[in-house]
Structure 1
């Protein structure tokens, strides 16, 4: 048996795994998201080299949408979409309906930065508590 065949991955870097299962378009984008604090593993902010193993919960915040996935299988190289779907369990909340998105408050282009009062009103409308 060749050494490469004997080696079975028990842990994989979080940036590599999220890229491999197609949660990010590039590995550098995955690493940048980790450095920016947008990736959490089991509730803790993850650095790009943090290892993940089967059963870990990975939370990713991209474009204002949070994805929650459970690691099912480890992959090191990027795989096709059907295989990637087998490597994770998606526990993400469903996206809001289109009607809700249409009624979300939007600032006019060029209106400048919102005041503190406007930001608080927007957060209250959206149900944010942070």
Structure 2
């Protein structure tokens, strides 16, 4: 089975097109070698898949006949990704919360509400002083 189809079948990518693009960009390796999307995958192959800034390591246990349900994925692959990689992903998610600096770019919905509240308060104060 082709590597792009295998990654789609075991639900690492949502579509085959995305899996093919990842292979073309060099995000997929079999036994340490970068591969093209048409490369065949066999049982006992070691895969490295870079997705969402995390390199996932997995071992092919068997080849699925077609796309499988999420509960059946563990029959066809063995996840050997170190926990440090997932901890790195959590740190990236936390860092994204504070990524945008205030005053740069278009205001978010929360920023807009805070500005409206501030302007309403100032307008009410000026009317009461008059």
Task: Please indicate the TM-score interval, normalised by the length of the shorter structure.
Answer: 0.5 to 0.7
Matched positions, count:
100
Alignment partner, residue 120 of structure 1: none
Structure number having the greater helix percentage: 2
TM-score (normalised: structure 1): 0.67
Q: Identify unmatched segments of 5+ residues in structure 2.
A: 106-130
Q: Which runs of 4+ in 1 moved over 3 A?
A: 97-111
d(CA) in 2 for partners of 1:97, 1:49: 31
Contact 1:17 1:76 in 2 (8 A): no
Shift, 1:32, TM fit: 0.5
TM-score (normalised: structure 2): 0.67
Q: Identify unmatched segments of 5+ residues in structure 1.
A: 1-11, 112-130
Alignment partner, residue 66 of structure 1: 55
Contact 2:53 2:89 in 1 (8 A): no
The structure with the larger Rg is: 2
CA RMSD of aligned residues (A): 2.5
Alignment partner, residue 44 of structure 1: 33
Shift, 1:76, TM fit: 3.8
